[in-house]
Structures are given as structure tokens and as C-alpha cells.
Amino acid sequence: MFARSTAARTLARRAFSSSARAERKVAVLGAGGGIGQPMSLLLKTDPLVTSLSLYDIRGAPGVAADISHVNTKADCKGYEQADIASALKGAEVVVIPAGVPRKPGMTRDDLFNTNASIVRDLAKACAEHCPKAMICIISNPVNSTVPIFAEVFKKAGVFDPKRLFGVTTLDVVRASTFLSGIQGTDPKDTRVTVVGGHSGVTIVPLLSQTEVAKGVSGQAYKDLVKRIQFGGDEVVQAKAGTGSATLSMGYAGAIFVNSLIRGMNGEKNVVEPTFVKSPLYESEGVEFFSSNVELGANGVEKIHPVGQLSAEEEELLKACLPDLKKNIAKGVEFAKSA
Ligand code: NAD
Ligand code: LMR
């Protein structure tokens, strides 16, 4: 994300990069929430977004009225629950942060019972109203909600694996921040590829592939890996029952959408780690996996393999795969029986 292109480096300084201009309507489902609001604001400032459609079961028209006063070109409209068809009509990108966040003591999987049905119902609406849109899932547990979304689309006969993404960008953002904090580097020059999934040990940072991480070893390495894997817990604890990461996630979500649209607009070599239907570990029963993905006009252009791993990373991957497989199976089973 950050180091691949000049444009991507610029993003780390919070300015969005623009490429060839095309009409790009982005819909945010869950736009009234902790992530939805700041992310929608950032999307309104992205020159590549030409229209913003903000939907939530509560509060979206107010958020849209507020954001619409920002003097950037994208038009911005809010929609209430009954209006989901209008919210999704013509959407080319749909970003979904709808659902409940964690409280201290909870795992992301503890959110499954509530969020699985929210994502399933939103998937049904997308299958009906914008089946060709690029779908970016933020709602947790991402390891299960992405497979749920895929199953609903399969049932509706509209599944295109190139157009469904689990947003794992926050793990990449955190890895960059935490590593540069240790090494005294500028985060914009500190890219860390993070693969696997999005929870605890399924988050696998590939520090050996980052020049900046050279020299981080022993306990310092272990602590850094743990911090990247459990960074979400830091925020959940600090927010003390009022939610989880919202502002950093809003930032990460807006970065991912910017990259996705740049790829859709024809920019080459736009690469982001993202959780997609992937052949990489399919033989081990892991149908979805996050690795570096080149984004293009039709979504997933190319899925990169994880590359050379250190012995420690081999161990991390070994720990990741069984959990990931279980999380995916849980989502698939729910969607099949729902
Ligand atoms: P929040 O409670 O502040 O906001 C969620 C919003 O979703 C609310 O406004 C709510 O009204 C809305 N909503 C609920 N059901 C809906 C439905 N059926 N249709 C449309 N909107 C609906 O929560 P938040 O802090 O914004 O977090 C949202 C989700 O994102 C959580 O599941 C959280 O765990 C997840 N999250 C993921 C990542 C990631 O890296 N992928 C990072 C942070 C948070
Ligand atoms: C995060 O990584 O911050 C999110 O997945 C939210 C959470 O529950 O930790």
C-alpha cells in the first residue's frame, strides 16, 4: 500500500491520490456509526469519489447533510432503512462497516451472532440492487463475514470472487506505525505486508520482508508481532466499553477504497493486502486468505503468494491456518443454513 507507488506514499500523509477521473459512486452501509462517519468524511475528500451514498438503519440523513457541506465535488446523500434500494442503485463500490463492535473481554468471534445476520441481509440487498459492485467488508468477524457475503451471492447466482474484499488495511496501518515507532523511521516509508486473516493469531505480519525491520529480533520481535496481532484489543480496552477502533479504521477504509478505485480507473501496480477468495491455501481447506493483491479494472487482478518466509513466520502461518479455516467454515455454514 504505502511504498509501492508515489501515489501510495502520498496517502500516508493523508492526502488522497487521484488518477484518471471516472464516475465512481461509493455506498457506505453503516454510515452513521463510529467508523461510518469519519470514513464517509474522508471519502468525501477523495477526488476519485464522485458520489457518496450514506445508508444506516439510523442517522444517515443527518450525517449526509453534515458531510455534504464539505466543499469537494462528490455529491452526498443519506438514506434511511426503507431506502436501501435507492442507496445501492448505481453503486460501484459498497463499503460495509455495519454491525456491533467489541467490548473489553470479547473476541471478534463473539460478534458473530449479531453481525452475521446483519451482513447476510445487506448481502441480499446488494445481490438484488448492485450485484456487480466491488464489495468491501469491514464488519467483524471479517474472517467469517466475508464468506457469509460470498455464500449469499452464490445463492443469488451473482458471486464474482474478484469483487469481494475483506478490509484488513488497519492491520497494515498498525504494523507500519508500530514498526516505525521502534525503528525511528517515517511510517510513510515503512511498509509491512500482513497476511492471513483479521483476528488474533490469524494476523500474520511478514516483517522479514521489510528492510526497516532488520535488527528487530528476540523479545522485541515477539512483542512487535503480538502488538500487531492484538492491536485492536488496545483500542477496545482504552475505549472501556464504548467501542473499538473507529477513527484509525475510518482512515484505513478510506485508503483501501482509494486504492480500489485507482485500480478500477486503470492505474497499474496498485497493491494492497486484502482478504479475498484465494487459491494460496485452498488445498489446506482455507478458501479465503489475505495476501498482497493487485487491484484492477475488475477488482482482483492478481493474487500474490506470500513470498519467502522466515522460520518464525512459518510458525505464525501454521498457527493462523487452522483458526482461519474454522472461522471461514462457521460463516459458510451460517449462510447455507440461513
Ligand atoms: P458502531 O456501532 O459505532 O456503528 C455501526 C453502525 O452500523 C451503526 O450506526 C448501526 O446503526 C449500523 N447498523 C447496524 N445494523 C445495520 C444494518 N442492518 N444496516 C445498516 N447499518 C446498520 O460500530 P463501529 O465501531 O462503526 O464498528 C462497526 C463494525 O466494524 C464492527 O463489527 C467492528 O467490529 C468492525 N471493525 C472492523 C475493523 C476491521 O479492521 N475490519 C476495524 C474496526 C472495527
Ligand atoms: C480492530 O482491529 O481494531 C477491529 O477489528 C476492531 C476490534 O474488534 O478490535
Provide the residue-wise pLDDT of the chain in tens; the chain has 338 residues.
Answer: 333 343 344 344 444 555 556 789 999 999 999 999 999 999 999 999 999 999 999 999 999 999 999 999 999 999 999 999 999 999 999 999 999 999 999 999 999 999 999 999 999 999 999 999 999 999 999 999 999 999 999 999 999 999 999 999 999 999 999 999 999 999 999 999 999 999 999 999 999 999 999 999 999 999 999 999 999 999 999 999 999 999 999 999 999 999 999 999 999 999 999 999 999 999 999 999 999 999 999 999 999 999 999 999 999 999 999 999 999 999 999 999 87
Residue 198 is a catalytic residue: yes
Interface ipTM? 0.99
Atom of ligand 1 nearest to the CA of 108: 34
Q: Which amino acid residue places its CA nearest to atom 4 of ligand 1? A: 33
Match 478505485 to its residue by C-alpha cell.
261
CB of residue 179 inside a 6 A radius of ligand 2: no
Q: Do 297 and 263 contact (CB within 8 A), yes or no? A: yes
* Owner of C-alpha cell 473489553: 104
Whether 30 lines ligand 1, by a CB cut-off of 6 Å, is yes
Output the CA 71–ligand 2 centroid distance in Å: 31
236 lines ligand 2 (CB under 6 A): yes
Which ligand lies nearest the alpha carbon of 251? Answer: 1
Q: Report pLDDT for 3.
A: 35
Pick the residue whose CA is nearest to atom 1 on ligand 2: 232
The verdict on the CB of residue 174 being under 6 Å from ligand 2 is no
